[in-house]
Structure 1
Amino acid sequence: MDDFRTKCLERALLVGTFSAIPHPVAVEVMAQSQPDFICIDWEHAQIGRERIEDLVRAADVHSVTAMVRVPGHAPEAIAAVLDAGAGGVLVPRVSTAEQARAAVSATRYPPIGSRGVGPGRAAGYGYRIPDYLAKANETLVLAIQVETAEGLANIEDIAAVEGVDLIFIGPGDLSVSIDAMGPAGKDKLDRAITTITSAALHAGRAVGIFRPSPADVGRWRRAGISFFALASDTMFLGAAVLDSLDAARKAGSSS
């Protein structure tokens, strides 16, 4: 089994980030910091399908696993990123067990699923299809994102679906969906995150979550979450520029 998927399933601490800048240079810069993974955000960023393979390749140069968050549930999108060589897929807005089973089917080859065989980069452009088929089901990570009130209500059924490796919590959309935005909704959101985490762990699934900063990673790690997507390249860029400009202005005004 691939080392990255093994670590996911064994709930080792994994800390990575989202990639939203649609250029391989940005991926390489992040990869040189050696995150445990980079999740290329096809859902929310200005990244087109034709760019995915270049971004995955840029992560591969530095031996960092590239996952891709696809825009929806379409099997064609899931197949496209896996054919490009991604080490895993993050499927957003999974709110029912049926949707979770469909994600498993789209990610795995028969007899487990229904993914089609294609001569993409992952299979050596057709020259290593047998080798890729022999290992793909055992090495690719399937993460499904629970981020709706419906998903919260159905979490036990979703977590019970065989073939799901990791249940990823999207606090932003979840807070909107359950009316728990802002400081006033913090306790309600925390309870929802705890409910999802407990159900997933009880079913034997690893749990992941997005965090905008490392401030409470320790707290959620103690709760059983092991997979952390920390901010994004754009968020890191903006924060670093802001901090540096503020520091320069303070230094200049005090001289």
Structure 2
Amino acid sequence: MSEFRQKCIGKKSLIGSFAAIPHAVAVEVMAQSGLDFLCIDWEHAQMSRGMIENMVRAADLHQVPAMVRVPGHQPEAIAAVLDSGAQGVLVPRISTAAQAEAAVKACRYPPQGERGVGPGRAAGYGYRIPEYIAEANARTVVAVQVETAEGLANIEAIAAVEGVDVIFVGPGDLSVSIDAIGAQGADKLNAAIRTIIGVTIAHGRTAGIFCASPQPVGQWAAIGASFFILASDTMFLGAGAAANYAAARAELARGERL
């Protein structure tokens, strides 16, 4: 079993970020920032399969586990990122137990799943296929993202699916799906998140959630969440730039008054 998966299923607190900038340099910068893992965001960022593989290489260089959020439920996309060497997959928009079961099957080789065998980077380009197949099922983190009203309604069945390691809450899409947007919907959204996290933990799975800022991390950790994706490289870039420009303009104004 990989150290990353062992920590995930062992509910060790982990804080990572989304990697949305499609370049290895951005991955290397983030990898040296003190995070526990990176999740390459193929769902929302514009990137090629070749770029994803290079981003995984860059993470490997700095010994930071890289997983990939795939665009949907297609087994071919899941296989491609695992073949690139990603240590896990985050599958979005999981709303039923059947979808969760399909995600597990796409991530695992037989007999636990239906993943196809290929001579990709993870298997040493064909030189170590038998060894890779023998270890891959135990190494791969399978995370499913619950972010719809249907997923909320089906959370008991989803959490009962064998082979799911992490159930990850997508609060943004969930807020839209259950009509709990903004301050007026905060209580409704928080109740839904608490339900998902509570059911996840009750079934022995690891509960995770996206946090746009550091403040909610403690709130959700207090009720058992242990897998956190904090913002993204693009969000950090924007926030850091905005804060520094504002500070520089304040200093400029102060200097002009002297």
TM-score by length of 1: 0.99
Other-structure match for 1:149:
149
> What CA distance in whole angstroms lies between the structure 2 residues aligned with 1:209 and 1:48?
26
> What CA distance in whole angstroms lies between the structure 2 residues aligned with 1:196 and 1:219?
14
Alignment of 1:83-94 (within 5 A): 83-94=83-94
CA deviation profile, 1:151-207 (whole Å, cap 9, x unmatched): 000000000000000000000000000000000000000000000011111111001
Alignment of 1:146-185 (within 5 A): 146-185=146-185
SS for the counterpart of 1:142 is strand
Other-structure match for 1:133:
133
Q: What stretches of structure 1 move > 2 A for 4+ residues in a row?
A: none
1:145 touches 1:169 (CA, 8 Å); kept in 2? yes
The structural deviation recorded for 1:14 is 0.1
1:146 touches 1:169 (CA, 8 Å); kept in 2? yes
Other-structure match for 2:74:
74
The structural deviation recorded for 1:32 is 1.0
1:197 touches 1:225 (CA, 8 Å); kept in 2? yes
> What CA distance in whole angstroms lies between the structure 2 residues aligned with 1:218 and 1:187?
17
The structural deviation recorded for 1:92 is 0.2
The structural deviation recorded for 1:96 is 0.2
Q: Which amino acid aligns with 2:252?
A: G
> What CA distance in whole angstroms lies between the structure 2 residues aligned with 1:130 and 1:81?
19
Q: Does 1:56 align with 2:63?
A: no
> What CA distance in whole angstroms lies between the structure 2 residues aligned with 1:34 and 1:183?
32
Structure 1 residues without counterparts, runs of 5 or longer:
none
Q: Does 1:5 align with 2:5?
A: yes
The structural deviation recorded for 1:131 is 1.1
> What CA distance in whole angstroms lies between the structure 2 residues aligned with 1:164 and 1:108?
11
CA deviation profile, 1:12-61 (whole Å, cap 9, x unmatched): 10000000001100000000113111000000011122211001001000
> What CA distance in whole angstroms lies between the structure 2 residues aligned with 1:180 and 1:88?
30
Q: Which amino acid aligns with 1:195?
A: T
> What CA distance in whole angstroms lies between the structure 2 residues aligned with 1:217 and 1:68?
21
> What CA distance in whole angstroms lies between the structure 1 residues aligned with 2:125 and 2:33?
30
Q: Which amino acid aligns with 2:226?
A: S
> What CA distance in whole angstroms lies between the structure 1 residues aligned with 2:102 and 2:219?
33
CA deviation profile, 1:60-119 (whole Å, cap 9, x unmatched): 000000000000000000000000000000000000000000001000000000000100
Q: Which amino acid aligns with 1:109?
A: Y
Q: Which amino acid aligns with 1:89?
A: V
> What CA distance in whole angstroms lies between the structure 2 residues aligned with 1:50 and 1:62?
19
1:17 touches 1:232 (CA, 8 Å); kept in 2? yes
Percent identity between the two aligned chains = 67
Q: Does 1:229 align with 2:229?
A: yes
1:34 touches 1:64 (CA, 8 Å); kept in 2? no
> What CA distance in whole angstroms lies between the structure 2 residues aligned with 1:151 and 1:219?
22
Other-structure match for 1:15:
15
Q: Which amino acid aligns with 2:172?
A: G
Q: Does 1:27 align with 2:30?
A: no
Q: Which amino acid aligns with 2:92?
A: P
SS for the counterpart of 1:181 is coil
SS for the counterpart of 1:114 is coil
TM-score by length of 2: 0.98
User: Aligned-residue CA RMSD in angstroms?
Assistant: 0.6
The structural deviation recorded for 1:134 is 1.0
Structure 2 residues without counterparts, runs of 5 or longer:
none
